[in-house]
Chains A and B, each alone.
Chain A
Amino acid sequence: MTEKNQNIEKKTPLWHNLKYMIVGIIFGIAFVKAEIISWFRIQEMFRLDSFHMYGVIGTGVVIGMLSIQIIKRFNIRSISGEEIVIPNKTFNKGQIYGGLIFGLGWAITGACPGPLFAQIGSGYSVIIITFLSATIGVWVYGYFREKLPH
């Protein structure tokens, strides 16, 4: 990025981020209305008693995949005219160990990070503690990062 571009970015006023909040609001409403924030829905998924969550995630992946293909095929740019870039993720052992730990935790809390926020918004105030504890988990990971296998 050139110095000129960086200056432009720094001058972007904070309220421009409100558009992301609106996307978040719609996303949060979908989470509640399709009951994705329900602890029982997650239990149903892991007990293979219902197609519901598989349908939600599966549809999400298919729509996301089609959208990315369309963006690439027609070289669609962002609203500010930038080329859209999706960096490649590199494999490391964290995806195995960390993924497993998250999976274990997911079945306990019945919520991945997104639903935690929607649960708090829905009035389950005790989930603030779950969220704080998750944030402490992130901090502890950062602290021990160099010592963990990657």
Chain B
Amino acid sequence: MIELLSQPWPWWAAGIIIGLTVPTLLILGNKLFGISSSMRHLCAMCVPAKIPFFNYDWKKEIWNIFFIIGVLLGGFIASEFLSTDAPIQIAENTKTQLRDAGVVDVTNLLPEDIFSWSSLLSLRGFIFIVLGGFMVGFGTRWAGGCTSGHAIMGLSSLQWPSLVATIMFMVGGFIMTWLILPSLIAL
């Protein structure tokens, strides 16, 4: 069993688990699947600073913090106990294009020449690690959700505003990947 689980999972296996998270949370306690709200709760918990957006009873949303701690632990368990040394099978075309753009490490989960403590203080590292993160937080909150809240939960419950958000996520991703990212990698 452990042997089987340690192999890379096919897309449909992960898709089924992600999809089943929706009814599981609903049935366990009427909770709406969403991950980016956890960061709002953290702000409300730690630095509400009299900002109306952060003044609400975050204790009622504490389940969300338990959930993301679980995601973190799941990441640890999978890499520590359920992993093989097999490199990720990335499409050749993506690898070639990224190598040509200047990415050195194409074998790990993240290109370690870009995402590392030592690159943090370079302009490129700052953009990928700090600015990218800022845009993810600022953008998801303005959009009212991320891939989980809008693309999975919102589309599952047939909400058209979530379709708008999901399309914009993809548009942003395509613009960045095709038009801007090559110059950022070359920095």
Q: Interface code B153-187, partner A: CB below 8 Å = 1, 0 otherwise? A: 11111111110111111111111111011001000
Kindly name the residue among B39, B117, B154, B170 whose own CB sees the greatest number of chain A CB atoms within 10 A: B39
- Residue A49 contacts which of B36, B39, B91, B157 (CB distance < 8 angstroms)? B91
| B86-114 contacts to A (CB < 8 Å) | 88, 90-91, 93-95, 97-98, 106, 109-111
Map CB proximity to B onto A95-123 as digits: 1 under 8 Å, 0 otherwise.
11111111111111111111011111111
Q: Given A29-B77, A80-B29, A118-B74, decide whether A137 and B91 contact each other with a Cβ distance below 8 A.
A: no
Query: Are B14 and A109 in contact, CB atoms less than 8 angstroms apart?
Result: no
> How many angstroms from the CA of A149 to the CA of B148 in the assembled complex?
23
Beta-carbon contact of B71 and A121 below 8 Å = yes
Instruction: Determine how close the nearest CB of chain A comes to the CB of B58; give it in whole angstroms.
Output: 13
Knowing A28-B71, A142-B51, say if A130 contacts B129 (CB, 8 Å): yes
Bitwise, B53-67 to A at CB < 8 A (1) or not (0) is: 110000010111011
Q: Which of these, B9, B110, B127, B166, contacts A39 with CB under 8 Å?
A: B110
Q: How many A-B residue pairs lie within 8 Å, measured between CB atoms?
A: 497
Contact A108–B43 (Cβ < 8 Å): no
**Interchain CB contact (< 8 A) of A141 among B132, B137, B165:** B137
Task: List B117-145 residues whose CB lies under 8 Å from chain A.
Answer: 117, 120, 127-145
Please list the residues of chain B having a beta carbon within 8 angstroms of any beta carbon in chain A: 5, 8-33, 35-36, 38-40, 42-43, 47, 49, 51-54, 60, 62-64, 66-79, 82-83, 88, 90-91, 93-95, 97-98, 106, 109-111, 115-117, 120, 127-148, 150-162, 164-178, 180-181, 184
By Cβ-Cβ distance, the 10 closest A-B pairs, closest first, are A103-B172, A24-B70, A28-B74, A59-B15, A63-B19, A121-B75, A98-B142, A137-B137, A105-B135, A99-B168
22 contacts between A and B (CB under 8 A): A23-B25, A24-B72, A27-B21, A28-B73, A33-B5, A44-B94, A60-B18, A63-B19, A68-B23, A80-B29, A90-B161, A98-B138, A100-B168, A101-B139, A102-B143, A107-B174, A108-B181, A123-B79, A124-B115, A129-B130, A137-B133, A138-B43
Residue numbers of A with Cβ under 8 A of B are 9, 14, 17-47, 49-53, 55-68, 70-71, 76, 78-80, 82, 84-92, 94-114, 116-127, 129-143, 145, 148
